[in-house]
Amino acid sequence: MSTSEDPAHLRDHVAIQPASAEYAGQMERLQAVVYGVDPRDERQMTLNAAHFRQHLHVFPEGQFIALDTRTDTVVGVTVSMRLAFNPRRPVLRPWWELIGYGWLSTHVHHGAWMYGVESSVHPDYRGFGVGRRLMDARKSVLRRLNLRGMVAGSAIIDYHKVSDQVPVDEYVADVVAGQRFDTNLSKQLKMGFRAHAIIPNYLMDWDCRGYGVEIVWDNPDYVPARPARRSALGQAIPLGL
């Protein structure tokens, strides 16, 4: 597909839907395209088909794909889990460790926050609102579950351009103030997230020099007094920390 295609026409053919095991192979291939790695190589710390199938058992409500319905092709993926997050204590762990090395074994069934594990869009489909629609699907779920909000780690992928001259805290402050543009963090701030903390050694990524920024989105519809609901596993889930 050419990115010159009319965005309105493209939206007509890209559907956001719950992920399913039948698309796990395509989800793996999308990771290879987006990140230029082999998802089957365990050294790459990248999600593969086996991981995606496991996610459906751990937290099925939190997994979505963007599908080009003309070709039945996965062009976007988003993965989420639940977390017992305390806003007063940043989560300063490496991404791969935090997500149970891809298996979401760190998912907390009663966690009051959603953690954004992964979100990626095929390069040919960027700039047409696919990523925002995937994010909206996540937000719809956390509202339905009455979660307090979403936490994620944003890789500051343009930091390598100035890292020799600009300290990381200054770089992030400039991006937050709108004085610098970071291809990843700036987009997420525009979606309503706020920068919460800088995470060293978050990713093994040269572009961000290993740094991530913990970002937080507070659910404006969160109701603290709402009673516990039941999870997909039939377990009672107390809401709130």
Residue 182's region, left for phi above 0, alpha for psi from -120 to 50, else beta, is beta
What is the reported pLDDT for 204?
86
Whether residue 228 lies inside any domain: the answer is no
Whole-model pTM: value is 0.88
Same domain (yes/no): 100, 180: no
- For residue 231, pLDDT over 70 is answered with no
Number of domains into which the chain is organized: 2
User: 37 and 73 share a domain?
Assistant: yes
Residue 241 Cα to chain centre, angstroms: 22
Task: Please check whether residue 215 is in contact with residue 192, taking contact to mean a CB–CB distance below 8 angstroms.
Answer: no
Residues 18 and 126 in one domain: yes
| Residue 67: φ, ψ to 5° | -120, 125
- Cα dihedral 46, 157, 218, 64 sign: negative
Q: What is the mean pLDDT of residues 167-177?
A: 98
- Asked whether the beta carbons of 116 and 136 are under 8 A apart, the reply is no
38 pLDDT band (50/70/90 cuts)? confident
What is the structure's pLDDT at 229? 55
Please say whether the beta carbons of 45 and 99 come within 8 A: no
Domain that holds residue 52: 1-147
Q: Are residues 84 and 163 in the same domain?
A: no
> What mean pLDDT, rounded, does the chain reach?
90
- On whether both 82 and 120 belong to a single domain, the answer is yes
Who wins on pLDDT, 100 or 43?
100
